[in-house]
A and B are shown apart, each in its own frame.
Chain A
Amino acid sequence: MKLWLRALLSTMSAFLGVQSNERRERDFIDGKFPVFVAAGITFTLLFLLAVYGLVQFVLWSVD
């Protein structure tokens, strides 16, 4: 698997709060720190956008 794809998957698991030990160890052996930071920031922004969008959608749908 591509390095960035694996970082993406691991970040997704982190958002859910579940990760297997095997994947965690692999991330620490041949993962790259900046890639995880970038994935983390991207996911946080996506999450904020999703919450914002959901609220806007709900408010719009009741009007």
Chain B
Amino acid sequence: MTKAMVLALSLFVLPAKADWQVNMTQGVTELSREIFDLHMLIFWICVVIGVAVFGVMFYSIFKHRKSKGAVAEHWHENTTVEVIWTVVPFVILISMAVPATATLINMYDTSEADVDIQVTGYQWKWRYQYLNEDIDFFSNLSTPRDEINNVQVKNSNYLLEVDKPLVIPVNKKVRFLITSNDVIHSWWVPNFAVKKDAIPGFVNESWVRVEEPGIYRGQCTELCGKEHGFMPIVVEVKAEADYARWVADQKAMKLISAGAASQNYAVADLIAKGEGVYNAACAGCHQVNGQGMPGAFPAITASAIATGPIQKHLDIVLNGKAGTAMQAFKQQLSAVDLAAVVTFQRNGLGNSVGDSIQPSAVQQ
């Protein structure tokens, strides 16, 4: 191979190599590094054992090969050898268990947390409730449908971006109480070394203390249905002052949205806003064009409910339908968003009922 060829080839190989992470993530918490070190320690122990065992085996096969006149020995048992090969792995396992146990105990110690956040899995989004503050919101995938459908070029955070990230303060112990509203999900942020199942009816606990402000991304890691790959996790870690400001902003926004709900909106504005809400919250099931998926999700276009009495339409959106994938959106969306999406469904997606509903009417 000529030098030029090597150079040309390395151009292909090098950038690709940078993207290639084969090993476990080291992470940004003391605990995640502890877990990483433990993983490496045990990995190297396994390498040494593997090399020793296969070394002896291959050497014996080669040294005592038949062509050299080796004759197999026939014997039935050797208690001493058997005891040794039982006790040695036992000792190795116990010596690995000692550091592992110390880390495990640390991992499970959720006491004395500064911030408590309940994390609830939904099909297919996450809900974050700050238990000591009056903050409660849903975090939805924000990747445009056009990128998913290969109409638009995919951005670098494709399927790893949300409309409202979880926000936590840096250098504080944050405890997560993880549960689910429907099926089993799993809340995983590799940089925190946290991966916990979200199980309906159970609360699993976990905690982090992140040392560096930044944005960390993760995914649901328990197969939970059609949009399992479309419910990412984004955590924004903020410096203490920025976090306090964020908390204050959330409370102010709550007041603003309460004010917004008492205003009257033009029907055209509701429809325009409703289309955005529909694409973010409903299109995963009912599809962007409103046709649904026969057998699983009904069409909104020409639907008896979406073109019938508005109260029944509002009712299924507010309260969902028990036993089906149609969830209650009462707590997920603001009064304005609810009014907008109902108005949009009645006057878009091929429907033209002509009526509308105001946020103030939704609130009652």
What is A's interface to B at a CB cutoff of 8 Å?
16-21, 58-59, 62
Contact = CB atoms under 8 A, between A and B. Distances in A.
9 contacts: A16-B83, A16-B86, A18-B86, A19-B79, A20-B77, A21-B76, A58-B105, A59-B105, A62-B102
B77 A21 contact: yes
B100 to A, nearest CB: 11
A21 to B, nearest CB: 6
A18 B79 contact: yes
Interface string B80-91: 001100110000
Nearest to A58: B101
Contacts of B83: 16, 18
A2 B87 CA distance: 27
Interface of B: 76-77, 79, 82-83, 86-87, 101-102, 105
Nearest 7 CB-CB pairs, A to B? Answer: A18-B82, A20-B79, A18-B83, A62-B105, A16-B86, A21-B77, A18-B86
B184 to A, nearest CB: 28
Contacts of A58: 101, 105
Nearest to A21: B77
Nearest to B76: A21
A34 to B, nearest CB: 27
Contacts of B82: 18
Contacts of B79: 18-20
B223 to A, nearest CB: 33
Contacts of A20: 77, 79
Contacts of A62: 102, 105
A50 B68 CA distance: 52
A14 to B, nearest CB: 12
Given A18-B83, A19-B79, A58-B101, 10 more contacts: A16-B83, A16-B87, A17-B86, A18-B79, A20-B77, A21-B76, A21-B77, A58-B105, A59-B105, A62-B102
A16 B77 CA distance: 15
A16 to B, nearest CB: 6
A18 to B, nearest CB: 4
A34 B83 CA distance: 27
A18 B83 CA distance: 7
Nearest to B109: A62
Contacts of B102: 62
Nearest to B87: A16
Contacts of A16: 83, 86-87
A18 B105 CA distance: 34
A58 B79 CA distance: 33
A58 B188 CA distance: 29
A59 B79 CA distance: 37
